[in-house]
Amino acid sequence: MLTLAYRPFFQRIKSVPWSGFFILWSVLSMATVWFYQDHFTTRQTVEELLGEQFSPVYIDLIFARIQDITYWTLLCIPFFILVRMTLMALLIHLFFMLTQVWISFKGVFHAIVPAFGFLILRDVSKFILMSGMDVPGDKAGEILRVPLALSAVVSVDAYPVLNKLLNAFNCFEGLWLVWVLLTLAAWTGFKIKKIFFPLLTARILGIVLMWGIGVFYEIYML
């Protein structure tokens, strides 16, 4: 009944080319990264966070490298988004095939592209909470905290890396899941309960993989 009620809306979404959403999300993501760099990743913030560990000269080098990485990241954001959505669509498509849910890769990809907007809202929500607030060096990690995340319920302060994983499970991921679930159900005619488990499993695995890539980057690239 829920799918039938929203079917016309999702059918209109289907008529919008995925490239339109892709361009919109790319522009918004670039603006988000620029805002974060300009307002939160400052020389003072880096010094407050690392001042007791490194000399001022070395902190200058670290800050310069962060700026260089940010500029390159801005240029590569559209590519990163496309790769991320493609890999997620492949993972979901694989789990669908394993559970004998026959939905084309093109259909899965088109369904998840609009849902990427919830992930941008997630990033924006961090800045709304932190805007206008002075963040001490020992609290700098809170800049990356997502509202209504699992980390707010189960906190593992002794293991910041695990806190980042818990932070990845949040209300915006739930909205992403509901959107893709209703979209695929409306477009394909499959019952929600038939596609829910493989979709949920694929998404959880995708989140864990993204967390692992982030940990690897922080350890070996920064």
User: If you write DSSP's letter for every residue of 202-217 in order, what string do you get?
Assistant: HHHHHHHHHHHHHHHH
**DSSP alpha helix (H) spans, the chain:** 2-14, 18-39, 43-50, 56-98, 105-130, 160-167, 171-188, 192-220
Question: Each residue of 60-117: pLDDT tens digit?
Answer: 777 777 777 777 778 888 999 999 999 999 999 999 999 999 999 999 999 999 999 9
Query: Counting beta carbons within 10 angstroms of the beta carbon of residue 90, is it exposed (0 to 12), middle (13 to 18) or buried (19 or more)?
Result: middle
Give the tens place of pLDDT for each residue, 6-43: 677 887 888 888 888 999 999 998 888 887 777 666 66
User: Which backbone phi and psi does 214 adopt, to 5 degrees?
Assistant: -65, -40
Task: List, in order, residues 6 or more apart from 48 with CB less than 8 Å away.
Answer: 136, 137, 140
State CA 217 to chain mean position distance.
16
Q: Where are the domains of the chain?
A: 2-220
DSSP-based three-state secondary structure for 108: helix
What pTM value is reported for the model?
Answer: 0.78
Residue 125's closest CA among 159, 152, 155? 152
Residue 63, token pair as written in the block: 């800050």
Of 60-74, 168-182, 185-199, the one with minimum mean pLDDT is 60-74
Q: Cα–Cα distance between 145 and 124 in angstroms, integer?
A: 11
pLDDT tens figures, 130-152: 655 555 444 544 555 676 777 76
